[in-house]
Structure 1
Amino acid sequence: MRKHLMMGGMLAAALAGLPGMSLAGDIASIQPIGFSGDGKVFAFQEFGIKETGNVPYSETYFIDTDSGEYLEGTPFRTDLTDKDANLSKARRQNLTAARSQMDKYDLLTNPGLIAAFNPPTELGSPSKTLRYTTLATDGPPKAPYTLALGEMPVAAPKDCAAVDKRILGFSLQMIEKEGVPNRQAAKQVTAVPAERTCSVEYRIGGAMVYQPEGANQVHIALILAFDAARNGRWIAVPVHP
C-alpha cells in the first residue's frame, strides 16, 4: 500500500454535518491528521458545538501507537466562550497550539488511508463491527480485516455518580485478518481514557491504516463514545495485526 493514499474528500463530506445531527447532545466531527513516518504516532482533531452553552470546541489528540496512550503534554484543548467565538476560530486556534507537535512528527506528510468510515448518520450499518481492506481498489475485497467491538459493565467512577445509566467499558477484537478468521489471542481490552469514563455506549466509527516503510502495518480503530446525554466523543485505538 502506498503510504500517501487517502480518501480525504469522502471523509470531509461525511463529517461536515455530524455536530447537531444526533437526537440529543452533540456528536463531535473527527478529522485525522496523520502518522509519523515510523507509524509510532497518530493524531486526529475532533470539533463541534457543545449543546450546553453553544460553545465551539476543538481538541487535537496525539496517540502513541505502541501503548495507546496520549503523548506527554497532549491533547490540546480549545473552548471558546467569547462573544465572537465560532467553530472556525476554535479550530484554527487549536491547530496553531498543536502545530509544533504536528511538525515534530511530520504528520502531514503521512496521512494514511481512511479504510472505512461508519458514522451514526449511516442508516442500517452495524455499530459494533467494521470490515475493510487496506488497498483503495475497485472490485472484490482483497485480504479483508474485520474489527468487532464489545461492551462490558465497569465500576462507575466517582465523577459518574450522577449518571442514571450503566457505565460501560469496551473491548476490541480483530476477528478477521487478511480474509482468515483471527479469533485466537487477538482481543485487546482497552482502558477508557479519563475523559470518557462516563460512557454508556460505544460505536465503531471508522478505521485508519498506515504502512511504514520496512515495518508492519498500523491500524487505528476510531471508536465513538456516548455519554448519558448522547454527546459523542472519539477514541483512537491502535491495532497491530
Structure 2
Amino acid sequence: MAVLVTRPHPDDEATAAGLRARGFAVLLAPMLRFEPVGFHDDEDARYGAVIVTSANALRGIAPHIKASRLLKLPLFAVGEHTAAAARGLGFENVIPANGDATALRDLVLASVKAKTLKKASTLLYLAGADLARDLAGELSERGFTVVTHTTYRMVPLSSLPRETCDAFAANRVEAVLHYSRRSARAFLDAARAAGVEISALAIPQCCISPAVASVVRDAGAMQVMVAASPDETALFAALDRALHP
C-alpha cells in the first residue's frame, strides 16, 4: 500500500523523502507543472520590501536574481519552506510567517507597528499567475502600494501516471495528499478521465487546508482529513490520524 502525493515537482521529492522516513511507500502523481514567467526588475522602482506566498515564485526569478539589489531588501515569506528558498537565493533579511496569506499580511502589518517597515512603503509581490486571494488588495487597503510581478504559472496536468492508475485499480493506494485547490481539482479531473474516480475517492483524502478539503468533499469524498495548520508536518499528522484512528 502506498500514499499518493499530488504535489508538483520538485517539492514532491522532498515530501516523498519525508514519508519514506516515516515508513510509508510512496507514489508520485504531480498534478501541476511549474512554468517560469519572464522577470525583469525595474531599476527605477523603489521598494521597501518583497513579499512572497510560494517558493515557486522564487524559482521563477532564480536565473535573474544573482547580485540583484532585491537581495538587500527585507523579504516576507508565507512560511518557513518559502523562507528557506529565499535564503538559498541569497536574500539577506528573510522574515517567515506562519504558513498562510493571512499570517503573511498580519506579519507585514506588525512590522509597521514595530517600525521596521514604513507604512508608505512600496511592496514588491512576487506571485503566481493564479492567485487564491487578493493579498495585494488587502495590503493596499491598509496604505501600502503593492507592485505585483507574476514570476510563474502552474499548469494542470490532464492525466495520471500509468503506475498510479494501475495502483488504484489494484487497491494499492491507501491515502492521497492534497496541497492546493487547483491540484486537487486537477487530480479529480484526471481520476475521472482515467475511470478510477470511485477508487480514488473511497480512501482518505488528506488536505493541507479547509479550502482544499472543500474541493474533495464536494466531489464526494467521505474520508477527508484536514491539517491543523497549513504546513507539511501538520499534513503528515493528519495522514497518521486517517490511517491510525
TM-score of the pair, normalised by structure 1: 0.24
Structure with more strand by fraction: 1
User: Larger Rg: 1 or 2?
Assistant: 2
TM-score of the pair, normalised by structure 2: 0.24
